Structure 1
Amino acid sequence: MASLQEQLLKAGLADEKKAKAIRNEKKKQRKQQPKGTVQVNEAEVRARQAREEKAERDRQLNLQRQQEAEKKAIKAQIRQLVASNRLDRSRGETSYQFVDGKKIKKIFVNDAMVDQLSRGRLAIICVDDTYEIVPDKVARKIMERDDQAVIVLHDRKTDDQGDDDPYAGYEIPDDLMW
């Protein structure tokens, strides 16, 4: 079999002068390369780069999927905590207003819940666009998982004695003069 160069010469598509110039150019390139170096195939380099880029994209996708799975797991934990610890407010007659984002929202609770909400013993949680009332300990557990789920949780005051107040049963008279 004749080489491609010889075939082109026979067909008349190339002349002997150009073929000789190309052979000389190839010899010069081979002599200029230091010994021991292998010619790097551009196709192999591109293929390796493409594999590395694809591996990096795959890592990023896997990381994103893991983060989404973690978020779903946290939301499920919050739903479970709220479902098992929410307080019944079906007989609420007093409206309690609070701020959620830039809007003022209103829920109906009983008078005892209003007092406990203001003292920081109860908290309002937003789960699946509904508002639930839970004890403060549960709210703090939820805050560890997601700060934005807890809408209202007032700080407890150190002088708030609450249920342990020894004078809770005594009323202060309105006409008391000092």
Structure 2
Amino acid sequence: MASLQDQFLKAGLIDKNKAKLAHQDKTKQKKVERRTGTESVDESRLAALEVQRKNAERARELNAQRDAAASQKAVFAQIVQLVQKNRQSKGAGDIAYYYTHGTKIDKIYVSAEVQTHLIAGRLVIVCLEGKTELLPRIIADKIAERDASLVVRVKKTTTEIDADDPYAAFQIPDDFTW
């Protein structure tokens, strides 16, 4: 491969005298550097190295973003697969079961058996892409590890009576529907 100087000569951009002078200046500069023990700073080389470093840093950032997006997509695919494989039937019921998802109160219609499973915590509600699915608690826990915002947790009601509760004497029946 010919040097850049040879390529310029062939293209007619410089003549032999200019090439010779450039070569002499370069050798003189190297000789002076050897005698004094100092190194000259090649500004164009430093600028090129800086640009190369910035490009490498930007490439690393873009790769990290791309990897994060790919891993997020893979996690979502795993969640969809878990939901499709393990969803349970809501039953052919007409009992409205109310739950809160974020700041929104929703309802689903379930059978009496499914309602008891939901209250006991054996079934959990998962909201995925606008659809509500019922899943066993074990599967819902696996989904919650990946994305907790999809899983609707039902708070278990305790039967313990608070000593300071003024309405402790007034019990609410279990079959009460709003």
TM band (smaller chain): 0.5 to 0.7
The AA in structure 2 aligned to 1:120 is G
Moved over 4 A (4+): 153-157
Deviation at 1:142, TM superposition (A): 1.0
Deviation at 1:156, TM superposition (A): 9.8
Structure 1 gaps of 5+ residues are: 4-30, 158-178
In structure 2, relative to structure 1, the CA distance for the partners of 1:140 and 1:2 (3 Å cut) is closer
In structure 2, relative to structure 1, the CA distance for the partners of 1:132 and 1:154 (3 Å cut) is same
The AA in structure 1 aligned to 2:64 is L
Structure 2 gaps of 5+ residues are: 1-15, 19-31, 159-178
- Determine if contact 1:94/1:110 at 8 Å carries over to the other structure: yes
Root mean square deviation, CA, Å: 2.7
The AA in structure 2 aligned to 1:36 is G
Tell me what 1:43 maps to. 44
Tell me what 1:111 maps to. 112
In structure 2, relative to structure 1, the CA distance for the partners of 1:111 and 1:65 (3 Å cut) is same
- Determine if contact 2:75/2:146 at 8 Å carries over to the other structure: yes
Work out the CA distance in 2 between the residues paired with 1:103 and 1:63.
Answer: 35
**CA-to-aligned-CA distance 1:83-142 (integer Å, 9 cap, x gap):** 011112262311111111111111111111111111111101111121100011111111
With the length of structure 1 as denominator, give the TM-score of the two structures: 0.65
- Max radius of gyration: which structure? 1
The alignment-based identity, stated in percent, is 37
For 1:99-178, list aligned pairs within 5 A: 99-154=100-155
With the length of structure 2 as denominator, give the TM-score of the two structures: 0.65
- Determine if contact 1:94/1:111 at 8 Å carries over to the other structure: yes
- Determine if contact 1:127/1:149 at 8 Å carries over to the other structure: yes
